Structure 1
Amino acid sequence: MLVDGEGNSIGTAPKSTVHGSDTPLHLAFSSYVFDEQGRVLLSQRAAAKLTWPGEWTNSCCGHPLPGEPLPTAVARRLSYELGLRVDSVDLILPRFSYRAVMDTGTVEHELCPVYRAVVRGEAAPNAAEVDAVRWMPWDRFAEQVMSGELAISPWAREQVPLLVALGPDPLAWPAADPAALPPAARLEPVDRR
């Protein structure tokens, strides 16, 4: 979903056509997966990915399908990319946005709310999406990202200080109000019972 600077939907475009040297602002999400001990799951993007191939990053990123609520998109992508079933998905940073340029000139430009997901069990990465995964204690991960010791994707590098500001225990971070999401992202989950 393409969005304007205020986060309003202005149309859609196939993912394959929007990532280039003049990538328009579009709706996405980032998620940080934690286990019950508060460890964060990092993923290494598959070498075949168009943007930041082989780069270590947060657990999972993605784009919602047209009409798909972001929490549903988070759960769908975590299942597809990492074989995980989530116990909970919480909105943490409703208005995060960034623009980053690869050495090749390819631009990523996203309005990208950030979610925390809590899971039990181990990841089973989809090789088309993820080359490797590893669990790290949150405090060590955050320290290494902020010191520059750990090479990480540009969006995660910008997100981590914002997450650290929420407190030392990621399981205790307050969930944000979904009303703070940009207008294009304020879709309610559908009860399919």
Structure 2
Amino acid sequence: MTEPLTDASTDREAMTVELVDDHGVAIGACSVAEAHRPPGVLHRAFSVLLFDRRGDVLVQQRAAVKTRFPLQWANTCCGHPTPGQPVTEAAAIRLREEFGMAAELTEVGAFRYRAGDESTGRVEHEYDHVLIGTVGDETPRPDPAEVAHWSWLTPDTLRAELTEHPDKYTPWLAEVLEIAVRAQPPRP
């Protein structure tokens, strides 16, 4: 008898995340699911934003099966390192899983936020490390279980969209964009 396939989102909910204090110092661990139950537990996360050679950024519309902020537009990819795992290592793995891409990633900042998702009842309370990378002409190969749609946008276009249609975007994207753009070297 063939075993049924497991639901990837359920498996991800059982993974362990690293709990942190307000300064990002590790203080414990719990499951992804537990960390995102209201009111949310502060834990380590990362957000990747890729740039192309023109300076455009790769954004994604999160898949409908996502347990937090489904079908909203977000940065290239995001996730959680396991306790003790280097953030850049976890981010590189997640980038391959979600987009089938590789890039040299550099951490350029971190911030804390808390946001409730009315559609799922879950809460994001994260100490979010922002990483950037640059890719050439590589075409994204997104996993449809993770990414509904994707697009390259100029940072200015994305800023305007965030202002005009904030409900279409995840609550962390504006801060990720600003940290990433400030760190990105000027284009020739």
TM class, shorter-length: 0.7 to 0.9
Pick the aligned partner of 1:100 from 102, 115, 139. 115
1:42 equivalent to 2:56? Answer: no
Is the Cα–Cα contact under 8 Å of residues 52 and 102 in structure 1 kept in the other structure?
yes
Q: How far off is 1:131 after superposition?
A: 0.9
User: Could you give the per-residue CA deviations for residues 144-186 of structure 1, whole angstroms, max 9, x where no partner exists?
Assistant: 32x334631100133334455x28xx3439xxxxxxxxxxxxx
CA distance in 1, matches of 2:170, 2:53: 25
* 2:98 aligned partner: 81
Question: Contact 2:108/2:179 (CA < 8 Å) preserved in 1?
Answer: no
C-alpha distance after superposition, 1:107-157 (max 9, x if no partner): 100000111111230111111211111111222222332x33463110013
**In structure 2, the residue corresponding to 1:157 is in which secondary structure?**
helix
| Aligned equivalents of 2:64, 2:122: Cα separation in 1 | 15
Kindly provide the amino acid, as one letter, of the partner of residue 114 in structure 1: V
Measured after TM superposition, the shift of residue 98 of structure 1 is: 0.5
Count matched residues. 167
Distance in structure 2 (CA, Å) of the matches to 1:21 and 1:136: 33
How far is the alpha carbon of 1:19 from its aligned partner?
1.4
Partner of 1:30: 47
**Percent identity for Structure 1 against Structure 2:** 36
Higher relative contact order (CA 8 A, sep 6+): 1
CA distance in 2, matches of 1:84, 1:160: 20
Q: Which of 142, 150, 163 is the equivalent residue of 1:133?
A: 150
- The corresponding residue for 1:124 is 141
Say if 1:62 and 1:74, in contact at 8 Å, map to a contact too.
Answer: yes
Where in structure 1 are there 5+ consecutive unaligned residues? 174-193
Q: Which amino acid aligns with 1:80?
A: E
Q: Please give the TM-score of this superposition, normalised by the length of structure 1.
A: 0.79
1:81–1:126 Cα contact (<8 Å) kept: yes
The letter of the residue matching 1:107 is V
User: Is the contact between residue 38 and residue 171 of structure 1 (CA under 8 Å) also seen in structure 2?
Assistant: no
For the aligned residues, what is the CA RMSD? Answer: 1.9
1:4 aligned partner: 21
TM-score (norm 2): 0.81
In 1, Cα distance between the equivalents of 2:175 and 2:126?
Answer: 13
Q: Alpha-carbon deviation of 1:27?
A: 0.1
- Conserved in 1, the CA contact under 8 Å of 2:19 and 2:27? yes
The structure 1 residue matched to 2:34, chosen from 17, 37, 41, is: 17
Gap runs ≥5 in structure 2? 1-17
1:176 is matched with: none
